A and B are shown apart, each in its own frame.
Chain A
Amino acid sequence: MRPAPLWRRYDRLLGPDAAADVKDELHFHLETKVDDLVAQGWCPEDARKEAERQFGNILAIQRVGERIGEHMDRRRRLTAYWADALRDLRFTLRTLRRDAGFTVIAILILTLAIGANIAVFAVVNILLLRPLPFPDAHQLVWIAPAPQKCGFACSTYSADAYNRFRAESRSYQDVTGYFAFSTADNLRLMGHGDPQPATGIMVIGNFFEVLGVEPALGRLFTSDETRHGARPVAVLSNAYWRRQFGSDPSIVGKAIDLNGQPTTVVGVLPAGFDFGAVFSPGAKADLFQPLILEDTRNWGSIVTMLGRLKPGVTLAQAQAEGTAIEPHLCFSDNSAVAGSCGFYHQDIYTMRLRTLKDYVDGRLRRSLIVLWSAVGVILLIACVNLSNLLLARAAARGKEFAVRGALGASRGRIARQLLTESLVLSCAGAVFGLALAFLLLEWLAHQGSLALPLLSSLRIDGAALEWTALTAAFATLLCGLVPALRMAGGPLSEALKDPSAGAGQGRSHQRVRSLLVISEVALACMLLVGAGLLLRSFLQVLDVDLGFQPDRAAAIQIDYQAHDPAQLATILQWILAKVGALPGVTAAGMVDYLPMEQNREGTAPVPKGSGINANNLPGTLVYVVTPGYFHAMGMTLRGRDFTWDDRPKGPGVIILNETVTRFLFPGQDPLGKIVSADVDRQIIGVVRDVHDSNAENQPSWQMYFPQTQMGPAGMQLVFRTNLPPSALASSVLHALRELNSNQPAAAFRPIRSIVDHASSPRRFFMMLVTAFALLGLVLATLGIYGVISYSVTRQTQPIGIRMALGASTTHVQRAVLFDTLRLAVAGIVLGGAASLASARFIAAMLFKTSPFDARAYVGMALALLSIALVSGYLPARRASRIDPIQALRNN
Chain B
Amino acid sequence: MDTAKLEFLRGTLDVLILKAMVWGPLHGYAISDFIRRQSDDALLVEEGTLYPALWRLENKGLLDAEWGLSENNRKAKFYRLTPEGRRHLRQEVKTWEAYAAAVAKVLGATQPPLPEELA
Taking CB atoms, residues of chain B closer than 8 Å to A64 are: 51-52, 55
Q: B75 interface residue, CB < 8 Å from A?
A: yes
Taking CB atoms, residues of chain A closer than 8 Å to B116 are: none
Q: Which residues of A6-26 have CB atoms within 8 Å of chain B's CB atoms? A: 8, 21, 24-26
Q: B46 interface residue, CB < 8 Å from A?
A: yes
Q: Which one of A55-63, A538-546, A682-690 is at the interface?
A: A55-63
Contact indicator B67/A8 (Cβ below 8 Å):
yes
Q: B78 interface residue, CB < 8 Å from A?
A: yes
Contact A56/B51 with A1-B25, A28-B76, A29-B29 known, Cβ cut-off 8 Å: no
Taking CB atoms, residues of chain A closer than 8 Å to B58 are: 68, 72
Contact A2/B76 with A61-B52, A64-B52 known, Cβ cut-off 8 Å: no
Q: Which of B59, B72, B77 contacts A32 (CB 8 A)?
A: B72
Contact indicator B74/A29 (Cβ below 8 Å):
no
Q: B115 interface residue, CB < 8 Å from A?
A: no
Contact A68/B52 with A29-B47, A32-B29 known, Cβ cut-off 8 Å: yes
Contact indicator B52/A65 (Cβ below 8 Å):
yes
Q: A4 interface residue, CB < 8 Å from B?
A: yes
Contact indicator B47/A32 (Cβ below 8 Å):
no
* Cα A1 to Cα B46 with chains together (Å): 23
Interface of A, secondary structure class, is helix
**Which one of B24, B47, B68 has the greatest number of beta carbons of chain A within 10 Å?**
B47
Q: A5 interface residue, CB < 8 Å from B?
A: yes
Report the nearest B residue to A29, measured CB to CB. Answer: B29
* Cα A61 to Cα B49 with chains together (Å): 9
Contact A28/B74 with A61-B51, A69-B55, A71-B59 known, Cβ cut-off 8 Å: yes
A275 to chain B, nearest CB (A): 62
Taking CB atoms, residues of chain A closer than 8 Å to B78 are: 1
Contact indicator A8/B75 (Cβ below 8 Å):
yes
Report the nearest B residue to A75, measured CB to CB. Answer: B59
* Cα A457 to Cα B33 with chains together (Å): 74
* Cα A68 to Cα B75 with chains together (Å): 21
Taking CB atoms, residues of chain A closer than 8 Å to B74 are: 28, 31-32
Q: Which residues of A54-89 have CB atoms within 8 Å of chain B's CB atoms? A: 54-58, 60-61, 64-65, 68-69, 71-72
Q: A611 interface residue, CB < 8 Å from B?
A: no
**Which one of B67, B72, B77 has the greatest number of beta carbons of chain A within 10 Å?**
B67
B11 to chain A, nearest CB (A): 18
Taking CB atoms, residues of chain A closer than 8 Å to B76 are: 1, 25, 28
Q: A33 interface residue, CB < 8 Å from B?
A: yes
Taking CB atoms, residues of chain B closer than 8 Å to A8 are: 67, 75
Q: B6 interface residue, CB < 8 Å from A?
A: no
Contact indicator A1/B55 (Cβ below 8 Å):
no
Contact with A along B60-74 (1 / 0, CB 8 A): 000000111110101
Q: A35 interface residue, CB < 8 Å from B?
A: yes
Contact indicator A1/B75 (Cβ below 8 Å):
no
Contact indicator B52/A4 (Cβ below 8 Å):
no
Q: A499 interface residue, CB < 8 Å from B?
A: no
Contact indicator A32/B48 (Cβ below 8 Å):
no
Taking CB atoms, residues of chain B closer than 8 Å to A71 are: 59
A57 to chain B, nearest CB (A): 7
Taking CB atoms, residues of chain B closer than 8 Å to A31 are: 74
B44 to chain A, nearest CB (A): 9
Contact indicator A28/B29 (Cβ below 8 Å):
yes
* Cα A69 to Cα B59 with chains together (Å): 8
* Cα A29 to Cα B47 with chains together (Å): 9
* Cα A71 to Cα B56 with chains together (Å): 11
Q: Which of B28, B29, B68, B72 contacts A1 (CB 8 A)?
A: B68
* Cα A65 to Cα B48 with chains together (Å): 10
Contact A54/B51 with A1-B69, A71-B59 known, Cβ cut-off 8 Å: no
Contact indicator B69/A3 (Cβ below 8 Å):
yes
**Which one of A21, A55, A61, A65 has the greatest number of beta carbons of chain B within 10 Å?**
A61
Contact A24/B48 with A1-B68, A3-B69, A32-B70 known, Cβ cut-off 8 Å: no
Taking CB atoms, residues of chain A closer than 8 Å to B27 are: 1, 25, 28-29
Contact indicator B55/A65 (Cβ below 8 Å):
yes
Taking CB atoms, residues of chain A closer than 8 Å to B67 are: 4, 8
**Which one of A1, A2, A32, A65 has the greatest number of beta carbons of chain B within 10 Å?**
A1
Q: Which residues of B65-119 have CB atoms within 8 Å of chain A's CB atoms? A: 66-70, 72, 74-78
Q: Which of A5, A25, A61 contacts B48 (CB 8 A)?
A: A61
B117 to chain A, nearest CB (A): 54
Contact indicator B69/A56 (Cβ below 8 Å):
no
Taking CB atoms, residues of chain B closer than 8 Å to A58 are: 47
* Cα A821 to Cα B44 with chains together (Å): 88
* Cα A29 to Cα B27 with chains together (Å): 9
Contact A24/B25 with A4-B67, A56-B48 known, Cβ cut-off 8 Å: no
A38 to chain B, nearest CB (A): 11
A71 to chain B, nearest CB (A): 7
B30 to chain A, nearest CB (A): 9
* Cα A21 to Cα B77 with chains together (Å): 8
Contact A61/B47 with A28-B75, A29-B28, A35-B72 known, Cβ cut-off 8 Å: yes
Taking CB atoms, residues of chain B closer than 8 Å to A57 are: 48
A703 to chain B, nearest CB (A): 89
* Cα A32 to Cα B77 with chains together (Å): 13
* Cα A56 to Cα B47 with chains together (Å): 8
Taking CB atoms, residues of chain B closer than 8 Å to A33 are: 29
Contact indicator B55/A68 (Cβ below 8 Å):
yes
Report the nearest B residue to A60, measured CB to CB. Answer: B48
* Cα A24 to Cα B59 with chains together (Å): 18
Contact indicator B72/A68 (Cβ below 8 Å):
no
Contact A65/B70 with A25-B28, A29-B28 known, Cβ cut-off 8 Å: no
Contact indicator B56/A68 (Cβ below 8 Å):
yes
Q: Which of A2, A24, A61 contacts B69 (CB 8 A)?
A: A2
Contact indicator B69/A5 (Cβ below 8 Å):
yes
Contact A28/B77 with A71-B59, A72-B58 known, Cβ cut-off 8 Å: yes
Contact indicator B55/A24 (Cβ below 8 Å):
no
Taking CB atoms, residues of chain A closer than 8 Å to B68 are: 1-4
* Cα A25 to Cα B66 with chains together (Å): 11
Contact indicator B59/A25 (Cβ below 8 Å):
no
Contact with A along B21-58 (1 / 0, CB 8 A): 00011011100000000000000001110011001101
* Cα A56 to Cα B48 with chains together (Å): 7
* Cα A237 to Cα B92 with chains together (Å): 70
Instruction: Name B residues whose Cβ lies closer than 8 Å to a Cβ of A.
Output: 24-25, 27-29, 46-48, 51-52, 55-56, 58-59, 66-70, 72, 74-78
Q: List 28 A-B contacts (CB under 8 A).
A: A1-B25, A1-B27, A1-B68, A1-B78, A2-B68, A3-B68, A4-B67, A4-B68, A4-B75, A5-B69, A25-B27, A26-B51, A28-B28, A28-B29, A28-B75, A29-B47, A31-B74, A32-B70, A33-B29, A35-B72, A55-B47, A55-B48, A56-B47, A57-B48, A61-B48, A61-B51, A64-B55, A68-B59
Known: A28-B70, A29-B47, A65-B51. 9 other contacts (CB 8 A): A1-B27, A2-B69, A29-B27, A54-B46, A55-B47, A58-B47, A64-B51, A65-B52, A72-B59
- Nearest first, the 10 closest Cβ-Cβ pairs linking A and B are A1-B68, A68-B55, A25-B77, A2-B69, A32-B29, A1-B78, A28-B76, A64-B52, A56-B48, A29-B29
